[in-house]
Structure 1
Amino acid sequence: MVISDGTASSPEERLENARREAQTQIASGLIQGAVIAVAGGPAAAAGLQCVHPAEKPMTVHSRFDIASVGKVFTAACCALLAADGELEPDAPFTRYLPEHVLGKSCNITVRDLAMHAGGFDNSKPYDSDDVEIFNRELFGKRPVRPRLEAFEYACSNFILLGKIAERISGTDLDTLARERIWKPLGMDRTQWLPPGDGDDEVEHWFPNRPAGRHNDGTCYLCPFPLGSGSCFSTARDLLLFARDILERGRFPGAYYDLITSCRFAKNGIRRSFGWDMTDSLRPRGLSAGTIFHSGWTGQTLCIDPATKFAAVVLTSRTGDHEEARAGRKRIIEALYGTPPV
């Protein structure tokens, strides 16, 4: 695989520039620590993995609760089922979940859910540790606007996608992703279920639960994996996943086409099946075909098929969400070699 140079600087120089940017963000209190890496190149760690019960330095092996970045695995599971002919992306999602309140009158498609364009808002009436209440409220939630009218990020879209994948496959998301994606790609340190205490588990904030536990409130309450994310993974594993998308070698071509093709573009927002492609959020220097996803606890995975570039920035965020996302964008630009503004 050819890795883009971005500029004439060496991979080591670009990594050092990115590490310096991460250190600046640590010093400002924006993040507690970081692991940064690029496909085909070296990785670096900075800052602290934990501060409770004692300080522990971050390492390249540290494992993060990747929050909403886990949604890309939900999308991948659905994309594989679609490539196998078991799921029709443009069918109403209620074909697979007929118990949903919208029933046969539903015109919201599976693809709409994956692009956050089906009309649902991000309210969470299903937020309960009671499974009966969770399912009743999830399947009773109605859209607030017509499909494709606007983009609105909503975790319930991906919870529904996860339910669809489980319904079709006959197994839970953790098992499905492990057997169909993680194991074939050699991703042996990625899981949906919380690992609990461990030497490599990263402490996250908001609400600062113990390391190795779900930080997302809904995922924390639920006794089963949810398609909205909160997987646990490492930089190495995420780059294995990213490199496969660049190389298109392990799965059917229809899988890669589905997740990399922009099918929603409105009001400045661009989305593919499970991924962000918005121009204003894309790291400078990368192509319009770049797909990326971020996570609430402080992560970004970025893949540019055109330049054969992929990078991951995993942090433990301690500051403002939008400022931290912009900070990770700067780190990816440094990894690519884009000159700073």
Structure 2
Amino acid sequence: MKKLAGCAMVLSVSRLTATLVDGLVGGHRPLYSAAVALIQRGGHPTDLVTVGHLSRYADADGTPVAPEALQPALESTIFDLASVTKLFTTTVLLGLVDEGRMSLDEPIADWLPTFGGDERRRITLRHLLSHTSGLPALLQLWTDWPEPASRVQAVLRAPLVNRPGASFEYSCVGFMVAGLLAERITGQPLPDLVHERICRPLGLTDTGFLPDPARAARAAATEHQPHLGRGMLRGSVHDENSWSLGGTAGNAGLFGTAADVARFGELLRQGGAVDGVRVLRPETVAEMTRDQLPPAIDPGFRHGLGVRIGDPHWMGTLAADGAFGHTGFTGTSLLVDPSRDLVVVLLTNRVHPSREWSDIAEIRRAVAEFAAPPVCRG
């Protein structure tokens, strides 16, 4: 545990530590084996807590690894970010909108010829990023399309479950399409786009798809997946659809550290630029963080372009301030609250050793509540 610059009291930091340590114990079962929480106020890190170990179990039954194999979670630990990837995919595409290479409201079938047809021709980038495209939540590419070459076409031809614009359906398929769209517009692979447009300019040296062996050695383990011939995952993407597409997809696949995710959060908090590096126009970030759902669609929260807005389920009382961000299935989250100059990052491996073991919504709320009180400066 570290106490960083600022005037948050040590007692308060101890409360944050206690919250994360509680997750190591859990109730019926531990919620995760590793967790890192990083809170920034006004662009400065004030609270950093690391607990646990990168891997605690050898299989989904919870067989413990040998004590000598335990590695502590550190500030430098890399986590599978899961659906936090969607924020990066969104930022890449909104950058292309800023450049005039496409618009939010033109049919994406103009770029993806095998995508269109009937109602599908009405789907726009705005629909994809606000989860109102009518595309399904998921496909099972790894079982239903055994030939890798057929999986991209399966994504592009996924059947609609509703009319575009008629309902909110959180759709990983829609973000897989979004990643393919970015690649088609630019002629570049998505990993290169994320690196060149976001990670390199911002200095996010530990964020990217497909970690090399050195980075994988710093990664927190996720799930044991012997049914896919994968064993205990560590440094390999957890999301089966992204894995089926080679580990790079618009919905999931990025790995990163808490510090990198927090710096990306600062980019959004500060309107698209940080430390003189501009990635998005201020007007674009304003549109990104504006509720895109019409009054007739009310899922219990608001949703912008790639960001959840005001969701009390995991934001706690910060939801009332218009905080926005995203969670990841593996146990990750980024929360940004411009009204409080606040960025909150929580990275865990809650699917280790099995996704059936835990739900960390309560921990997410507790970390958000810890960050919520005003903290003096000076």
**Same topology, TM > 0.5:** yes
Instruction: Tell which deviates more after alignment, 244-253 or 21-30.
Output: 244-253
Instruction: Tell which deviates more after alignment, 71-80 or 44-53.
Output: 44-53
Going from structure 1 to structure 2, the CA distance change for 1:9 and 1:240 (only over 3 Å counts) comes to closer
Across the two proteins, how many residue pairs are aligned to each other?
331
- 1:242 alignment counterpart: 265
- 1:132 alignment counterpart: 149
- Counterpart mapping for 1:66-85 below 5 A: 66-85=81-100
Give the drift of 1:23.
Answer: 0.6
SS in 2 for 1:262: coil
* Larger RCO (CA under 8 A, 6+ residues apart): 1
Matched, 1:210 2:210: no
SS in 1 for 2:103: coil
| Contact preservation (8 Å) 1:270, 1:276 | yes
Rounded to whole Å, the distance in 1 between the matches of 2:13 and 2:117 is 50
Going from structure 1 to structure 2, the CA distance change for 1:137 and 1:193 (only over 3 Å counts) comes to same
Give the drift of 1:173.
Answer: 0.8
Task: Note the aligned Cα RMSD (angstroms).
Answer: 2.4
| Contact preservation (8 Å) 2:152, 2:245 | no
Rounded to whole Å, the distance in 1 between the matches of 2:113 and 2:11 is 54
Rounded to whole Å, the distance in 2 between the matches of 1:124 and 1:48 is 33
Rounded to whole Å, the distance in 1 between the matches of 2:109 and 2:243 is 27
Residue ranges of structure 2 left out of the alignment (5+ in a row): 1-5, 59-64, 226-230
Rounded to whole Å, the distance in 1 between the matches of 2:128 and 2:357 is 24
| Contact preservation (8 Å) 1:101, 1:142 | no
SS in 2 for 1:284: helix
Q: In the alignment, residue 269 of structure 2 is paired with which amino acid?
A: L
- 2:32 alignment counterpart: 31
Q: In the alignment, residue 33 of structure 1 is paired with which amino acid?
A: A
Instruction: Tell which deviates more after alignment, 241-250 or 277-286.
Output: 277-286
Rounded to whole Å, the distance in 2 between the matches of 1:105 and 1:45 is 46
Rounded to whole Å, the distance in 1 between the matches of 2:346 and 2:50 is 10
What's the % identity of the aligned pairs?
23
Give the drift of 1:145.
Answer: 1.0
Rounded to whole Å, the distance in 2 between the matches of 1:321 and 1:121 is 26
| Contact preservation (8 Å) 2:55, 2:71 | yes
Render the CA deviation track for 1:180-204: whole Å, top value 9, x for unaligned.
Answer: 1111111010011243464311111
Give the drift of 1:68.
Answer: 0.8
Matched, 1:225 2:248: yes
Rounded to whole Å, the distance in 2 between the matches of 1:316 and 1:309 is 23
- 1:151 alignment counterpart: 168
Going from structure 1 to structure 2, the CA distance change for 1:193 and 1:254 (only over 3 Å counts) comes to farther
TM-score by structure 1 length?
0.89
User: 1:325 is matched with which residue: 351, 358, 361?
Assistant: 361
Instruction: Tell which deviates more after alignment, 134-143 or 225-234.
Output: 134-143
Going from structure 1 to structure 2, the CA distance change for 1:309 and 1:82 (only over 3 Å counts) comes to same
Q: In the alignment, residue 165 of structure 2 is paired with which amino acid?
A: L
Rounded to whole Å, the distance in 1 between the matches of 2:13 and 2:186 is 41
User: 1:307 is matched with which residue: 316, 328, 340?
Assistant: 340
Give the drift of 1:121.
Answer: 1.6
Render the CA deviation track for 1:297-340: whole Å, top value 9, x for unaligned.
Answer: 111110012221011000010466873123222112113338xx
Rounded to whole Å, the distance in 2 between the matches of 1:168 and 1:321 is 41
SS in 2 for 1:50: coil
Give the drift of 1:24.
Answer: 0.7
User: 2:48 is matched with which residue: 43, 46, 51?
Assistant: 43
- 1:5 alignment counterpart: none
Rounded to whole Å, the distance in 1 between the matches of 2:10 and 2:106 is 47
Rounded to whole Å, the distance in 2 between the matches of 1:322 and 1:26 is 11
Instruction: Tell which deviates more after alignment, 33-42 or 235-244.
Output: 33-42
Give the drift of 1:101.
Answer: 4.3
Render the CA deviation track for 1:241-264: whole Å, top value 9, x for unaligned.
Answer: 011212232232233123212111
Matched, 1:269 2:301: yes
| Contact preservation (8 Å) 1:94, 1:104 | no
| Contact preservation (8 Å) 1:18, 1:335 | no
| Contact preservation (8 Å) 1:76, 1:259 | no
| Contact preservation (8 Å) 2:311, 2:319 | no
Render the CA deviation track for 1:191-236: whole Å, top value 9, x for unaligned.
Answer: 1124346431111126363311111112222226210112100001
Rounded to whole Å, the distance in 1 between the matches of 2:92 and 2:361 is 26
Matched, 1:162 2:161: no
